[in-house]
Chain A
């Protein structure tokens, strides 16, 4: 074995050597993890990064010996604190799970038993350890205090459905840490949470890890989260560890072409569409379990030579404590860029003519036991050829706003919607063909947005027939134009969505949106269901099409990096209210609304730049009972002591040309506070 890590003095917490996991599918063994070796030292935190199908979750399940029925460890060894996990008997395995290894995974709501109270579920851990019922419950309450739950006594008696996502994940973490395990496995623990809640949970995990001197295996698709949380990192691709080493080294000087490509896919801080296109990794992720000869990454790799297709590269020691499975690791840093040609962008500065105008838009939902004000008095315009980014966490009303604009949901009386200066009927059924063609959408999840029983040809042709009134040869001609425009091929036309990869499906959805020559396309989280290496290509495509078709975008996303890359202006929503709207650079550079500031500082960054300047306390309030005054005051770290924030809702005022903000704090004060906070953070 070339890649055997150096033997440390003390026995590491976890040692995985030559691990192979196979799933038996239709009588055939499919390896989904191959020849995986890594170690986690005492009190060390190791990050495992990978896209979908990389086998990262399978690794976690193998470590706890909880593989699905058709899965098994077919080679290799796993030892935790020197104990051979694969050779343990039933009672020994139970003991290992009870006292040494714990796990937290993605959906906190589903990890808890819906019919047992939270306290009871934590107490079980202590009961396994031999405590009596009373003591176990007391210690469970202590654990809740440790994970910083404000009112542990109350949370003890709640059922899981009565807990918010962040709260539930704290309970799960409390449960995992209750037995003071030597190894804590976190599998995408914050992926289902909102950015501000994620930041809090990550802080909590870092704090507790140090306090309890636990080793951590942190599994995520999010490079920035791994960079923030981990000492060392391993990059998993198609079941193989292609590169591993200290986090700073791997992210700073990657030596495997996949790692290099992955890092280039992500819009870096400040990168914008007019600065050039994003790099993309060509091709698609291989399906899990596919047999390959040679390097798993060869078919997508710009550096691949004949050798790469014939033999699997060993793990080379490329730097102290850094290994890469690549024959051409020396040149990896100079990987040729796969950057599409530049395309002229529409000149948005001069245009200024509004396509869509929204005035005093409100939406109230009636639910059992009251009314929920999902949107309250929103005023917004989208200008010709520009991208307006719409940012907000769950419950902010951003998707409701999109649905109302499209006519899928009716706004409250008194709301005004206009397209090119003429009124838009609230119900899509009462809109004319021109309006339908002018206003299109790309949904978040192409699996849901494309009828899985229709072929690509039918999916793309239908809007051409309905909205552009095309038929016969002219329809076919336009169909082929569109297919080429979204970089698909003619052979895809007869396929159904199930036969396409996620990225291709989203291209079909985009082609559908552009069929009737739209003036504005609503993009509702168009890349959040996609893998990072596929996301860049879709963002490039959207930017190109905008240049070519002179279309405006209303771009909804929770990913600030993506929003910043594509947007000319940005609107920030919180609990159905507009907090801030302005030119993208102004909103990002500041001074910004305290909520925007919190959102920005919640996002972990790959650059190693510290961003945790301010943190929000508590959960997002329920839209059914929003706080009085400024809706953000309950979580605002910069709330004024005068009491005005609690009493009066601040108006949306202009703080700079085109930059509006809804805050009682004078903009000069905000500028001063935010500048000094930035200095403290970067100084510390």
Chain B
């Protein structure tokens, strides 16, 4: 088991390393001259050179990359061009806010998506299945800002039952904060519902059609026992992996939802940094998202292995 974990961790580290190079390449190399970008077209050439030297972009690429990644490893994520102060605290605060939104979305979507998918599978081909499948398909393909606009118009403007911004004054109570998060969570939930329900449905149908489900039914077990003990146990394993992958999509959605609802999370931070060409902030933010995704898939992989007896014994061997 330990060997498997180490191997899996090693792969994640390699992937993360490649990711860091992609981010660095896009952020440091492609934009050309950061000094010009920050100081604007009217700054003198010598001022630009001085600025470039100050932030170190006139050094060889490899040196720059090593300095950057070395800083990351020591917890120093660089200095924001825009704020002229360390990036770290901004990222930390933003991640905290995003986490609230993301966790709320996951808490709602995981049980809902699984229940929807399993229900659809149990009523395969009938009205309940058709409507869940079609609804899920529709919901998952509409961009978050579109469904966001629709819920804002519906609940915030026509019905006036919920606040249309996610931001709350400092020191608001938990319930007030929750109140403000309900509308932003809906677009996230809608997009994820389709994916998770689809996977849960496919897994359940496959398990229902399996020989072992037949064995269990022909033993004379009640339908409920067959489904709980024999079908779901095997059907929902692949869904775990999907949920982890969906964390990635969730973060992509955060950029949009946080912008639409004016919420200070990591997505909005990245977007602001991108618009202001604040590359250190942008790179640190994107890399952080990569790390979160890696950790999520790593946890899912380990969980999947632990819950699957076949893989568990292979991993142990």
Contacts and interface: CB of A to CB of B under 8 A. Distances in A.
Is B truly associated with A?
A: yes
B125 interface: yes
A206 B218 CA distance: 22
Interface of B: 124-125, 210-212, 214-222, 229-230, 233-234, 237, 307-310, 313-314, 317
A110 B211 contact: yes
B310 A97 contact: no
17 contacts: A66-B214, A66-B217, A94-B220, A94-B222, A96-B220, A97-B220, A98-B219, A99-B220, A103-B218, A110-B211, A113-B229, A113-B233, A114-B234, A116-B229, A159-B309, A161-B310, A172-B215
A102 B218 contact: yes
A128 B309 contact: no
Counting chain A residues whose Cβ lies within 8 A of the other chain, the interface size class is 20 to 34
Contact of B317 (A112, A161, A368): A368
B293 to A, nearest CB: 28
Nearest to B215: A111
A208 B234 CA distance: 32
Contacts of A113: 212, 215-216, 229-230, 233-234
A38 interface: no
Contacts of B125: 69
Contacts of A364: none
B217 A111 contact: no
Contacts of A95: 220
A162 interface: yes
Nearest to B207: A113
A179 B219 CA distance: 9
B220 A115 contact: no
A316 B219 CA distance: 38
A97 B313 contact: no
Contacts of B216: 113, 124
A115 B211 contact: no
Contacts of B234: 113-115
A64 B218 contact: yes
Contacts, number: 77
A107 interface: yes
A297 interface: no
Q: Do most interface residues of chain B lie in helix, strand or loop, or is the interface mixed?
A: helix
B310 A111 contact: no
Given A115-B233, A162-B313, A368-B317, A175 B211 contact: no
Interface of A: 64, 66, 69, 94-99, 101-103, 105, 107, 110-116, 121, 124-125, 128, 159, 161-162, 172, 175, 179, 368-369
Given A107-B211, A110-B212, A112-B212, A98 B220 contact: yes
Nearest to A369: B317
Contact of A175 (B219, B233, B313, B317): B219
B317 A66 contact: no
Contacts of B214: 66, 105, 111
B218 A66 contact: yes
Nearest to A102: B218
Contacts of A162: 313
A172 B210 CA distance: 15
Query: Which are the 4 A-B pairs with shortest beta-carbon distances?
Result: A98-B220, A110-B211, A97-B220, A159-B309
Contacts of B313: 159, 161-162
B218 A97 contact: yes
A293 to B, nearest CB: 33
Contact of B212 (A69, A98, A111): A111
A69 B310 CA distance: 30
A161 B237 CA distance: 17
Given A96-B220, A98-B219, A124-B216, 12 more contacts: A66-B214, A66-B217, A69-B125, A94-B220, A105-B214, A112-B212, A113-B215, A115-B307, A128-B221, A159-B310, A172-B215, A175-B219
Contacts of A125: 219-220
Given A99-B220, A114-B310, A115-B309, A69 B124 contact: yes
Nearest to A110: B211
A99 B221 CA distance: 11
Contacts of B210: 110
A96 B314 CA distance: 39
A114 B212 contact: yes
Contacts of B229: 113, 116
A168 to B, nearest CB: 11
A193 to B, nearest CB: 16
A116 B213 CA distance: 12
A295 B308 CA distance: 52
B80 to A, nearest CB: 48
B10 to A, nearest CB: 16
B130 to A, nearest CB: 15
A128 B219 CA distance: 8
Contacts of A64: 218
Nearest to B213: A113
B282 to A, nearest CB: 42
A366 B220 CA distance: 45
A175 B220 contact: no
A368 B222 CA distance: 41
B220 A128 contact: yes
A62 B309 CA distance: 33
Nearest to B313: A162
B221 A115 contact: no
Nearest to B233: A115
Given A98-B220, A110-B210, A113-B230, A175 B310 contact: no
Nearest to A178: B219
B222 A115 contact: no
A511 B14 CA distance: 50
B219 to A, nearest CB: 5
B71 to A, nearest CB: 39
Q: Which of B215, B218, B313, B317 is the most central at the interface, judged by chain A CB atoms within 10 Å of its CB?
A: B218
Nearest to B211: A110
Contacts of B219: 97-98, 124-125, 128, 175
Contacts of B308: 115
B220 A161 contact: no
A107 B216 CA distance: 15
Contacts of A99: 220
Contacts of B310: 114, 159, 161
Nearest to A117: B309
Nearest to B307: A115
Contacts of B307: 115
A94 B222 CA distance: 7
Contacts of A172: 215
Nearest to B237: A115
A183 to B, nearest CB: 12
Given A69-B124, A105-B211, A114-B212, A97 B217 contact: yes
B142 to A, nearest CB: 32
